[in-house]
Structure 1
Amino acid sequence: MVKSSLQRILNSHCFAREKEGNKPSATVHANRTMPLLSLHSRGGRSSESSRVSVNCCSHLGPGPQWCSDAPHPPLKIPGGRGNSQRDHSLSANLVYSDNRLNVTEELTSNDKARILNLQTRLTDAKRVHWRAVLSSGSLYVEIPGGALPEGAKDSFAVLLEFAEEQLHTDHVFICFHKNRDDRAALLRTFSFMGFEIVRPGHPLVPKRPDACFMAYTFERESSDEVG
């Protein structure tokens, strides 16, 4: 069983993305363009509510650094084509595969963060794809613009199970633009799944007033509680 709350996040260029029209396909790509993260891990963990901390690159203190301070388009990832049909199998290693999930890792020169492509198989014909960054014991997922793909909640449940049981992460973070028309619906959906809103100014969240962050924290039994 998993419980959670969550907090931490991606890095390197800043997560951003442009809304794209839904394209019919057996595979729904829920990532469409995500910032290439490059976090620098902090030695030690925050004791505050068992949460992790992420600092924007403009704050050069200790801790994960993300988001370039250089100007960037509001929702566009440098180097990304925004092509939902991009072949993620190129230059990628298989990390995990079972009858519900296929995970590959993009090959990069960054030894601090890993970029993962997660494709969940809901039915033989229905698949949902997410792109995420794994760094410092947390998994960061950006929610794409536009309506959530059909089956997104079931897909995310598979993602959370993988993060806990296979990656052994402490937290899973999601982020999305605050001015989205469906913001209230997203907050309800992910709150129902166990995510909690990360308050602005939290030391583990980048300084992005245009973004909303939610976190899911895995509560693990301590050795003292077992038996």
Structure 2
Amino acid sequence: MLDRGTTSDDDDPPLQKWLARRGKMSALSLAELESCKNYTFQLGRGPQRCSDVPSGLTNSATLLKAEKNSPTKEGLLASAFFASPGDGKGKVRFLTFLHQLGDKKAVVKWDTAVTRGMLYIQLPEDPLHECSRDSLVELLDVAEEFSSRAIVFFSKKRNDMKQLVRTFKFIGFDILPPSCDWIPTSQEYFFMSYEFG
């Protein structure tokens, strides 16, 4: 399997192709999509224009908006590790995934960054909704199309940290050592990795 996590190219072809497919379903041109750095997607099956015609998409992420300038990021996503290229890491793009849950009242928000073919998922500081695990599995299903690995990280100060580690291990995540080159240096966050393949 190709390890896209070690590339230092500025562009990430799997992500570009994935974005291009989503761009066909929006009013944005490919050039406009590629010039953006921040994207917001809706997870889950939305209403189809013509339900009996297949869309050609194998997952359920709909592009809601794309922006050239990134809004202020919080937590570790605001660190120098996720700064723009010039540091050999390649282009960093921020993707926000919104997932409206079955009760239609709760929305799970996943703040992520993509660089070197890896998706970094920052868990929110608030306790996760009871359906967040299903939402995360759907996010991983989407991410498999454009990344080789997902890295989830969360604060070590969380009350539910032990439960989160158990849950992520159950899904198939492995604990990353603090010395791993894929992650920023941080004493405050815990990192786990899931390899697609």
- Using the size of structure 1 for normalisation, the TM-score is 0.50
Match of 1:152 in 2: 132
- For residues 164 and 40 of structure 2, the distance between their equivalents in structure 1, rounded to whole angstroms, comes to 30
Q: Does 1:108 align with 2:87?
A: no
Determine which structure has greater relative contact order: mean sequence separation of CA pairs < 8 Å that are 6+ residues apart, divided by chain length: 1
Structure 1 gap segments, 5+ residues each: 1-7, 9-40, 44-90, 220-227
Q: Does 1:218 align with 2:196?
A: yes
Match of 1:117 in 2: 96
- For residues 214 and 113 of structure 1, the distance between their equivalents in structure 2, rounded to whole angstroms, comes to 20
Identity %: 31
Structure 2 gap segments, 5+ residues each: 10-36, 47-59, 71-83, 86-90
Give the Å deviation of 1:134.
Answer: 1.2
Please provide the CA RMSD for this pair.
2.9
Deviation sequence 1:22-44 (CA, Å, 0-9, x none):
xxxxxxxxxxxxxxxxxxx625x
Match of 2:8 in 1: 42
Deviation sequence 1:187-211 (CA, Å, 0-9, x none):
0111111111101211222211221
- For residues 137 and 107 of structure 2, the distance between their equivalents in structure 1, rounded to whole angstroms, comes to 14
The code of the aligned residue for 1:193 comes to I
Give the Å deviation of 1:136.
Answer: 1.3
Match of 1:171 in 2: 149
The code of the aligned residue for 2:119 comes to L
Deviation sequence 1:5-52 (CA, Å, 0-9, x none):
xxx7xxxxxxxxxxxxxxxxxxxxxxxxxxxxxxxx625xxxxxxxxx
Give the Å deviation of 1:124.
Answer: 6.0
Name the structure with the higher helix share. 2
Deviation sequence 1:77-111 (CA, Å, 0-9, x none):
xxxxxxxxxxxxxx966667743544444423857
Shift in CA distance, 177/122, structure 1 to aligned 2, threshold 3 Å = same
Match of 1:3 in 2: none
- Using the size of structure 2 for normalisation, the TM-score is 0.57
- For residues 107 and 42 of structure 2, the distance between their equivalents in structure 1, rounded to whole angstroms, comes to 16
